[in-house]
């Protein structure tokens, strides 16, 4: 008979997340969760990983609910961004038959673009890392350096731009940032925006 395959720390983390859900839903207590996790860990020689918090071992009900609330908020924000943000990928494709990713990367190479994104994030994102922005500015001086949307997001914790994988993936941005991208891509669009702004001013 084949030896039973033991769980690894990643498996333990997944089980822990499931148990967190059951605690948050009042299906089990924190004490019951801990007993389950301890038994599974002992059977798989992973007791030491409990100390590292892989499974949320020892967390109180309040801590579990707080984690659940943060996770739900993150999911809600991502859904809101997906629904209200504009696809830069589609804008690039409509304007040029070249690879849309290359077009967006060219836009990110502009110092004016990064200055605009920096100002937008400082205004709208409390978790924004301006230190990450300064780091990227320094790296951009090297001709071989390529700044991608994903790298911008990772280094600065940006929320104005999101990058999604998969069939319906691509690069998406807040409408204000999408307008800046479209204005960079097509001067005629920038002229249209300026005319619209001037007309609104005259109507006031």
pTM of the model: 0.57
pLDDT score, position 82: 53
Q: How many C-beta atoms surround the C-beta of residue 13 within 10 A? A: 17
Average pLDDT, the chain: 78
Least confident of 116-125, 171-180, 194-203: 194-203
Q: 195 pLDDT exceeds 90?
A: no
Q: 160 pLDDT exceeds 70?
A: yes
pLDDT score, position 2: 47
Q: What is the pLDDT of residues 37-47, one digit of tens each?
A: 788 777 777 76
pLDDT score, position 198: 65
DSSP 8-state symbol, 171: E
* Of 10 and 121, the one with more pLDDT: 121
* Of 148 and 70, the one with more pLDDT: 148
Model confidence band, residue 29 (pLDDT cutoffs 50, 70, 90): confident
Most confident by average pLDDT, 20-29, 53-62, 93-102, 155-164: 155-164
Model confidence band, residue 116 (pLDDT cutoffs 50, 70, 90): very high
Q: How far apart, in whole angstroms, are the C-alpha atoms of residue 190 and residue 95? A: 14
Q: 202 pLDDT exceeds 50?
A: yes
pLDDT score, position 137: 92
Percent with pLDDT over 90 in the chain: 27
Q: What residues have CB less than 8 Å from 49, skipping those under 6 apart?
A: 9, 12, 41, 55
Q: What is the pLDDT of residues 77-90, one digit of tens each?
A: 555 555 578 888 88
Q: How many C-beta atoms surround the C-beta of residue 179 within 10 A? A: 16
Q: Are 90 and 168 in contact (CB under 8 A)?
A: no
**Long-range CB contacts (< 8 A, 24+ apart) of 73-79?**
77/159, 78/162
């Amino acid at each position: 008979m084949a030896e039973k395959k033991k769980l690894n720390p990643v498996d333990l983390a997944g089980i822990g997340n499931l148990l967190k859900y059951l605690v948050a839903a009042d299906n089990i207590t924190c004490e019951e969760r801990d007993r389950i996790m301890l038994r599974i860990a002992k059977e798989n020689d992973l007791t030491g990983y409990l100390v590292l918090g892989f499974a949320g071992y020892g967390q109180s009900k309040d801590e579990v609910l707080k984690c659940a609330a943060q996770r739900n908020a993150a999911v809600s924000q991502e859904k809101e961004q997906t629904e209200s943000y504009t696809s830069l990928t589609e804008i690039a494709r409509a304007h040029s038959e070249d690879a849309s990713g290359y077009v967006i990367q060219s836009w990110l190479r502009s110092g004016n673009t990064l200055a605009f994104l920096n100002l937008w994030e400082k205004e709208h994102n409390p978790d924004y890392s301006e230190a990450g922005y300064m780091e990227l500015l320094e790296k951009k001086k090297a001709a071989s350096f390529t700044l991608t949307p994903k790298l911008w997001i990772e280094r600065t914790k940006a929320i104005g731009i999101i990058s999604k994988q998969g069939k319906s993936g691509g690069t998406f941005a807040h409408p204000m940032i999408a307008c800046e991208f479209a204005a960079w891509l097509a001067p005629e669009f920038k002229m249209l925006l300026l005319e619209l702004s001037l007309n609104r001013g005259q109507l006031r």
